[in-house]
Amino acid sequence: MWEIWVYVVGGGLLFGACIAVAAAYLLIQGKKKDQVSGKMADLELQQLGLSIRTTSDKKVSLDHGSLDGSLQGQATNSTATPRKMPFENYTMDELKKATDDFSSCNLIEGSVFHGRLNGKNLAIKRTKTETLSKIEFGLLRDATHRHHPNIVKVIGTCSADGPDSFLVFEYAKNGSLKDWLHGGKAMKSHHIASCYVFLNWNQRLRICLDVATALHYMHQIMIPSYIHGNIKSRNIFLDDEFNGKVGNFGLKRCGHDTEDQKTWSKGYLAPEYVHHGEISLSMDIFAYGVVLLEVLSGEKPITCGNKKGEEGIWLSEKIKSILESEDAEELREWMDKALGEDYSFDGAVKLAYIARACIEEEPTLRPAAGEIVEVVARLVAQLPYGEEFSVCESSSTPLVLG
């Protein structure tokens, strides 16, 4: 019996020891698991926090309303400091070399010269040294960093000791919209790539969309919004594919127009600015409406009277009387004769009504740039496939020098 009890007690102790060892093992494993789970939980929380911060730091911009999808909205980090894109600092010797010592053969118009440096075409504008301090370089630098395809890019500067300094811009191979609609010195020089004297309907419509898209970017995408303040056909430039680009971006306070140019510019001025000096986004819309009227009619913003002292005819007033008459033939007669019959009359009517909305006396009644983009983009989308980018197919008239 004694031996039996020894075996029973020994077996019990051994069994208890096994249970104790197993319990200890499970306890240790449980603690390890809790530690791993805790670390995983912390990592997940860190990742979640990073995700939340990343999401909150990003601001998604609206797309530009173009139906062809060429301008897509994209996420931009609103908290990060934009990387500053320094301008090129050109020397006077470099610019003299680029322009053949500012030869008259390289003069585009006014104080702007064509130059070529390191295989790159440039537009070089002479300006007063004192005006450089007035230029909104911060704005230009940001515009360079987030370069918009329908805004002329500023490439660099040249500060001189003398009275004149220089700004260097992206070169617009086909001059300004004014050159093509109304002729001019640039039209009669080798600086214009094409040998034809006018833009066809498809090109005109596409340029109208390009300019509206640039205004949409300035008014509704840029933070804060930017008022160009000098929209006119002279400041709309055309690249080698006749894409429209708005120029003089950021230079609105630095203009030195001649008296003739100032008279020309009056036709673009919104009434609230003329009478009360009010500056707002809608003044750009008014000027854009006048540009549309130039595109449709081929006429200048203000047509001088036949007799000396006779008051000129303003395009913004002329279109009102035409549309109020509801006479289709009167509108046909008013259209640019260079177009002949090679345009969509229905499209022209729609564009005329867009222009009419843009030149409303009351600023609040004018459409926003985004609304204009949507409507004009639909007109471009209705063009026959493959023809919206055609170049000068409507004319066979060679350029006449004189």
Span 371-388, pLDDT tens digits = 999 999 999 999 886 554
Architecture of domain 172-382: Orthogonal Bundle (1.10)
- The full DSSP string for 236-256 is EEE-TT--EEE-STT-GGG--
**pLDDT value of residue 46:** 40
The CA-based angle 83-86-88, given to 5 degrees, is 155
Q: What's the mean pLDDT when you consider all of the chain?
A: 75
The CA-based angle 271-206-208, given to 5 degrees, is 5
What mean pLDDT do residues 20-38 have?
62
Work out the percent of the chain whose per-residue pLDDT is above 70: 63
**pLDDT value of residue 111:** 87
Mind spelling out the 3-state secondary structure of 113-146? EEEEECCEEEEEEEEEHHHHHHCCHHHHHHHHHC
**DSSP at 339:** G
**pLDDT value of residue 162:** 79
User: Taking each helix axis from N to C terminus, what angle separates 345-358 and 369-381, rounded to the nearest 10 degrees?
Assistant: 180
Q: Do domains 85-171 and 172-382 have the same CATH topology?
A: no
**DSSP at 2:** H
Query: If pLDDT is split at 50, 70 and 90, which confidence band does 77 have?
Result: very low
**What is the sign of the dihedral through the CA atoms of 269, 329, 210 and 282?**
positive
Span 186-199, pLDDT tens digits = 455 555 555 556 78
Span 286-320, pLDDT tens digits = 999 999 999 999 999 998 755 555 567 899 999 99
**What is the sign of the dihedral through the CA atoms of 320, 323, 326 and 330?**
positive
Work out the percent of the chain whose per-residue pLDDT is above 90: 42
Which region among 60-74, 79-93, 112-126 has the lowest average model confidence (pLDDT)? 60-74
Query: If pLDDT is split at 50, 70 and 90, which confidence band does 390 have?
Result: very low
**pLDDT value of residue 198:** 77
Q: Please state the domain extents for the chain.
A: 85-171, 172-382
Query: If pLDDT is split at 50, 70 and 90, which confidence band does 202 have?
Result: very high
CA distances from 335 to 238, 255, 298, 318 (A): 22, 32, 7, 12
Chain mean position to CA 391: 22
The CA-based angle 34-36-42, given to 5 degrees, is 100
347 has pLDDT over 70: yes
**pLDDT value of residue 47:** 37
Architecture of domain 85-171: 2-Layer Sandwich (3.30)
Beta bridge partners of 340: none
What mean pLDDT do residues 234-249 have?
90
Is 245 in contact with 206 (CB distance < 8 Å)? no
Is 292 in contact with 244 (CB distance < 8 Å)? no
**pLDDT value of residue 45:** 35
**pLDDT value of residue 54:** 33
**pLDDT value of residue 308:** 56
- Give the largest Cα separation in the chain, rounded: 145
18 has pLDDT over 60: yes
Span 87-106, pLDDT tens digits = 788 999 999 999 999 998 99
Token pair of 396 as six digits:
């066979």
Token pair of 226 as six digits:
């930017």
**pLDDT value of residue 67:** 27
Token pair of 385 as six digits:
């496939």
Q: Specify which of 124-138, 160-174, 177-191, 357-371 reaches the highest per-range mean pLDDT.
A: 357-371
- Taking alpha carbons only, the member of 216, 168, 172, 169 closest to residue 375 is 216
Taken as a whole, the chain contains a residue count of: 402
CA dist., res. 354 & res. 208, Å (int): 11
Token pair of 106 as six digits:
């390289």
**pLDDT value of residue 400:** 28
